[in-house]
């Protein structure tokens, strides 16, 4: 009579559509990371920042030196002062509109400000000044993939690889491109070529792991481990590996150890709490311990799914606490009236307390 319900986003339920959406999110994050009358930028010394003070003095001494505005803009950008950085990059370009690095940085700033049209224009300007700039070609291709302009993305990727056929980032983007086209075989080949050329591409390793996982290929484990090797604090990759070990490799003890390691770093990690509860419920038959972990999962959940709450009710049912189980089933159905497992649970324990 086991009616436990696994969380809806575990790897087994990943569809290709979900994976493709995941790669677009990653591409967008990578893009951000890579990345009338105008007033004169103010000298910003109120923070008593010695670096800024020194740059301000240099600019006062030579206000027509574009490189000084670039330096100040870059410093401001690295310290999170985006609007001030933007103003300084623009002034730098007013003084020297041929500086490729300034246009490239300006593109980064516009991306951070969600001004995607100006970001694209700045990247195009880079290529006008330096048509074979590999970084700009790849960056613009990434931009077009994120915004679904696949034809232009392919054009720029082809140009980047024509310039340098050992460009790992271009192959990584081709993996995203083919995945968006639904061609998983070519996507896998492209991602594998990318990690052959650069074994520090964590997201390529993780995407490959997910793709192999969808095919029930045990080599997925090696790719998960490589993703974690590159980014040891990537809890998402650790969770995916732990779940694979649990569900597809049957290595429950190893999975449990990984969930424990995740919870040491993030005690509120919902999926680790949930799956520990699931293991105690299904494999260990330790219902009280399972109940505790599901309770913690409920506490830290986004409340968009009643799975953990259902499993709490089911644990209570197994512990012969039908009154409390009945209360939880009722609570679930008040919010999710079509939740079939709770409907069945309510039938088992009865809708009303007979005492």
Residue 301's pLDDT is 86
Residue 37's pLDDT is 37
Helix (H) or strand (E) holding 20: helix 16-33
Tokens of 44: 């910003």
| Integer Cα distance of 131 and 134 in angstroms | 9
Helix (H) or strand (E) holding 347: helix 340-349
Q: How many CA atoms, within 13 angstroms, populate the side-chain half-sphere of residue 152?
A: 14
Helix (H, G, I), strand (E, B) or coil at 73: helix
Tokens of 132: 């074979």
| Range 270-274 average pLDDT | 96
Higher-scoring residue by pLDDT: 350, 183: 183
Categorise residue 257: left if φ over 0, alpha if ψ from -120 to 50, beta otherwise. Answer: alpha
pLDDT tops 90 at residue 176: yes
Domains defined for the chain, CATH in brackets: 34-130 (1.25.40.10), 132-239 (1.25.40.10), 251-355 (1.25.40.10)
Tokens of 36: 């009338």
The burial of 112, by beta-carbon neighbours within 10 Å (0-12 exposed, 13-18 middle, 19 or more buried), is given as: middle
Contact 9, 311 (CB under 8 A): no
Cβ of 198: how many Cβ atoms within 10 Å?
16
Residue 188's pLDDT is 97
Q: How many CA atoms, within 13 angstroms, populate the side-chain half-sphere of residue 233?
A: 2
C-alpha closest to that of 274 among 262, 225, 265: 262
Tokens of 145: 């993939």
Residue 101's pLDDT is 94
Instruction: Write the pLDDT tens digit of every residue in 82-140.
Output: 999 999 999 999 999 999 999 999 999 998 998 989 989 999 999 999 999 999 999 99
Instruction: Write the pLDDT tens digit of every residue in 285-314.
Output: 999 999 999 999 999 988 778 999 999 999
Instruction: Write the pLDDT tens digit of every residue in 46-88.
Output: 557 899 999 999 999 999 999 999 999 999 999 999 999 999 9
- Rg of the chain in Å (alpha carbons): 26
| Integer Cα distance of 302 and 114 in angstroms | 27
| Integer Cα distance of 117 and 94 in angstroms | 20
Contact 62, 92 (CB under 8 A): no
Contact 178, 190 (CB under 8 A): yes
Query: Whole-model pTM?
Result: 0.77
């Amino acid at each position: 009579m086991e009616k436990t319900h696994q969380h809806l986003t575990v790897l087994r339920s990943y569809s290709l559509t979900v994976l493709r959406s995941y790669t677009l999110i990653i591409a967008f994050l990578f893009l951000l990371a890579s990345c009338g009358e105008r007033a004169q930028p103010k000298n910003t010394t109120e923070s008593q920042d010695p670096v800024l003070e020194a740059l301000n003095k240099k600019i006062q001494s030579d206000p027509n030196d574009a490189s000084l505005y670039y330096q100040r803009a870059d410093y401001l950008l690295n310290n999170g002062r985006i609007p001030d950085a933007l103003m300084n990059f623009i002034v730098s370009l007013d003084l020297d509109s041929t500086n490729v690095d300034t246009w490239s940085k300006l593109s980064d700033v516009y991306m951070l400000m969600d001004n995607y049209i100006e970001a694209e224009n700045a990247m195009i300007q880079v290529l006008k000044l330096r048509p074979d700039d590999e970084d700009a070609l790849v960056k613009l291709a990434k931009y077009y993939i994120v915004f679904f302009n696949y034809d232009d993305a392919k054009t720029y990727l082809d140009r980047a690889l024509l310039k340098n056929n050992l460009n790992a980032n271009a192959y990584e983007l081709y993996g995203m491109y083919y995945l968006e086209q639904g061609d998983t075989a070519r996507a896998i080949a492209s991602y594998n070529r990318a990690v052959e050329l650069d074994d520090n591409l964590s997201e390529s390793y993780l995407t490959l792991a997910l793709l192999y996982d969808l095919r029930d290929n045990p080599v997925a484990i090696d790719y998960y481990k490589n993703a974690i090797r590159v980014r040891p604090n990537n809890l998402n990759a650790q969770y995916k590996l732990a779940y694979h070990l649990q569900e597809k490799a049957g290595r429950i003890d190893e999975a449990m150890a990984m969930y424990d390691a995740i919870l040491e770093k993030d005690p509120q990690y919902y999926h680790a709490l949930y799956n520990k509860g699931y293991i105690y419920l299904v494999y260990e038959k330790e219902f009280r311990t399972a109940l505790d972990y599901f309770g913690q999962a409920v506490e830290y959940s986004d409340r968009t799914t009643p799975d953990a709450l259902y499993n709490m009710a089911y644990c209570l049912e197994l512990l012969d606490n039908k009154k409390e189980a009945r209360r939880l089933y009722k609570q679930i159905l008040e919010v999710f009236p079509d939740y079939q497992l709770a409907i069945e649970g309510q039938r088992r324990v009865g809708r009303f307390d007979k005492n």
